[in-house]
Amino acid sequence: MNIGVYPGSFDPLTSGHMDVLRRAAALMDRVVVGVLINTSKTPFFSIEERIAFIKEAIDAEGIKNAEATHFDGLLVAFAQKVGARHIVRGLRAVMDFEYEFSISSMNKRLAPGIDTVYFMAEPEHSYLSASIVREVGGFGGSIDGLVPDVNKSKIIERLS
């Protein structure tokens, strides 16, 4: 079985994240979205909220082979635990490349059997990030289309 893990902060899930997840799920047998519990960053949304947003979006789209959970520590250890052969990441502009390149080299060194695969962001999502969603929504701007419709009202409520 071809299993992939899609790690990230997802603070909150955006339409760009969802696009990557949709495409990975079409390619793989099972995709496990892993929300990182990062002790060095203070997220806006709690781990429970972030996982709930992802689960709701997966259900709303009827994606049968994707699920969401949390993890901490080494990403490759999490990937090994779920039996994943692939790590899924998205690439937006050039700014993502250098970071992703260094992380994937390290992950390859730690776990040579696990490959990282990348999906290029759709043009309309190239400049979309969770931090932009938090900023725009926090100032009362429209986040229509920037996050999955099913999550929108809860995100707006929390940001305002």
Binding mask 14-53 for ligand ADP (x = CB under 6 A): x-xx--x---------------------------------
Calpha distance 33→1 (Å, rounded): 17
**DSSP 3-state of 72:** coil
Q: Give the residue among 47, 44, 99 at the shortest CA–CA distance from 71.
A: 47
Tokens of 47: 């781990």
Binding mask 106-125 for ligand ADP (x = CB under 6 A): ---------------x---x
Long-range contacts of 139-142 (CB under 8 A, 24+ apart): none
Residues 5, 31, 130, 146: which binds ligand ADP (CB under 6 A)?
Answer: 130
Torsion of the alpha carbons at 82, 125, 160 and 50, rounded to the nearest 10: 0
| Contact flag: residue 104 with ligand ADP (CB under 6 A) | no
Q: With CB under 6 A as the contact rule, which of the stretches 8-16, 43-51, 66-74, 79-87 interacts with ligand ADP?
A: 8-16
Contact 84, 74 (CB under 8 A): no
| Contact flag: residue 89 with ligand ADP (CB under 6 A) | yes
| Contact flag: residue 148 with ligand ADP (CB under 6 A) | no
Q: Give the residue among 16, 15, 21 at the shortest CA–CA distance from 34.
A: 21
Contact 58, 67 (CB under 8 A): yes
Residues 69, 96, 132, 136: which binds ligand ADP (CB under 6 A)?
Answer: 96
Residues 79, 128, 155, 159: which binds ligand ADP (CB under 6 A)?
Answer: 128
Count the site residues for ligand ADP by CB under 6 A. 16
Of the two residues 30 and 50, which places its CB atom closer to ligand ADP in the complex? 50
Please report the sign of the dihedral spanned by the C-alpha atoms of residue 31, residue 34, residue 52, residue 145: negative
Binding site for ligand ADP (CB under 6 A): 8-10, 14, 16-17, 20, 89-90, 92, 96, 121, 125, 128-130
